[in-house]
Each structure stands twice: as C-alpha cells, then as structure tokens.
Structure 1
C-alpha cells in the first residue's frame, strides 16, 4: 500500500520479536512472591544417650 511506511518484513519481524521478549520478561519479573519469615532461633536437639 502506498500510504504505509516502507518497512521490510525482516525489520518488522525483529521488532515484534523484541516486543514479545520484553513483554515476557516484564511479566516474569513483575510477579511478587510473598517472602516467608523463618524463625531465627534454631531448635537444639539434644540426644540423651544412656550408655
């Protein structure tokens, strides 16, 4: 079509692949996981050997 910009198919392919990869990266790293708070005191297990 004469009113469209003369872009080649290869540059359009690179552009859409780049947008697709950026979209996936943003969606992957924007997901927020709840961090579980672990207790800092360790349980000391003492073994009472009878022999």
Structure 2
C-alpha cells in the first residue's frame, strides 16, 4: 500500500491552519453577501386568489 509522504507536525499544523482560515474567510463572505439585487415592489408580485 502506498502511503503519504511523512510530514512533521509543523507542516501539518500550517496546512490545516491555512485550510481552516480559508474556510472561515469564505463563510464570512458568504454570510455577508446581500442577496437583494432587485428592490422591487412586493405588492405586485403577490398573487390574487380571487377566482
């Protein structure tokens, strides 16, 4: 079975900490994204159910 190349604890720490910081930055920008490009009147979208 081929195994992964041996890495010391410092390089493992650096790899996982940069991965963690990258995920935190991505989630931060996803949560701050304002999903309101169209500010239209909501009354015109509401359907009328009078048959």
Give the TM-score range, shorter chain.
Answer: 0.5 to 0.7
Unaligned runs of 5+ in 2: 40-51
Q: Which has more radius of gyration?
A: 1
The count of aligned residue pairs is: 35
Distance change in 2, residues 1:5/1:33 (3 Å): same
Partner of 2:20: 20
**Structure 1 residue 4 displacement after superposition:** 3.6
Q: Which structure 2 residues correspond to residues 1-51 of structure 1 after superposition, within 5 A?
A: 3-31=3-31, 32-34=33-35
Instruction: For residue 6 of structure 2, give the secondary structure of its aligned residue in structure 1.
Output: coil
- Per the normalisation by structure 1, the TM-score is 0.53
Instruction: For residue 30 of structure 1, give the secondary structure of its aligned residue in structure 2.
Output: helix
Structure richer in helix, relative to its length: 2
**Structure 1 residue 30 displacement after superposition:** 1.5
